[in-house]
Amino acid sequence: MREFVRKALDRGLTVPNVASYLSLDIMRRWGVVWGTCCLGLKARLLGASLGHGVTAHGPVAIMRWPQSRIVIGNDVHLISSWRRATAAALSHPVRLRTFGPDALISIGEGCELSGTSITCRSTSITLGKKVLVAPDVIIVDSDFHAPWPMESRSTDPGLENDRPVVIEDYAWIGMRSIILKGVTIGRGAIVGAGSVVTRDIPPFAVACGSPARVVKIQEH
């Protein structure tokens, strides 16, 4: 600590700036310790599977329906705190929820999720290896209501319309995007901020808009 302060002062940083950085760093470190411990406890109590090296920056909300599965792979980072978020906004914590006995949420090795809401009702939502998900993204496998007839929307869950979601390795999902049911986002693809993804995105594509459309295919 003394060495850090000495080097900071040697570089011309003022004492208030050093104090500000130190306080922020302490809050971040404490947030990781507290969040990771709470996540481990929740996973044990609720039957979620955690890999090695999983960290949580702040509280993570888990809701697991009996007989469903939530699987979090090795070295996954779940960011639920504005103190750790690197983007402009983080409105809520990471939320992982299954609402049916056959539902599966699978998060691959090395993924990083920031304030992401994943809700799986009856199929599966699968994230591959090292997927980046920016703040406030929503991913669902269901409409949660049957669209027709309109008189039964509030009572008919429309389970037969649910479809799985797959986000392949190294994909990057931009801030406040929505990934709807039945979508596959290909390896290395980029989804621009604020997009609504209603159809498949091919590998190494850049897609944006509502609905999201491919604007570029990156050479690889």
End-to-end C-alpha distance for the chain, whole angstroms: 44
Distance CA 5, CA 21 (A): 10
Q: Which of 52, 57, 77, 145 is catalytic?
A: 145
Paired with 140 in beta bridges are 119
CA distance 73 to 69: 13
Distance, CA of 127 to CA of 67 (rounded, Å): 20
145 given a catalytic annotation: yes
Q: For residues 166 and 125, what is the distance between their CA atoms, to the nearest angstrom?
A: 6
- Which residues have a catalytic role annotated? 145
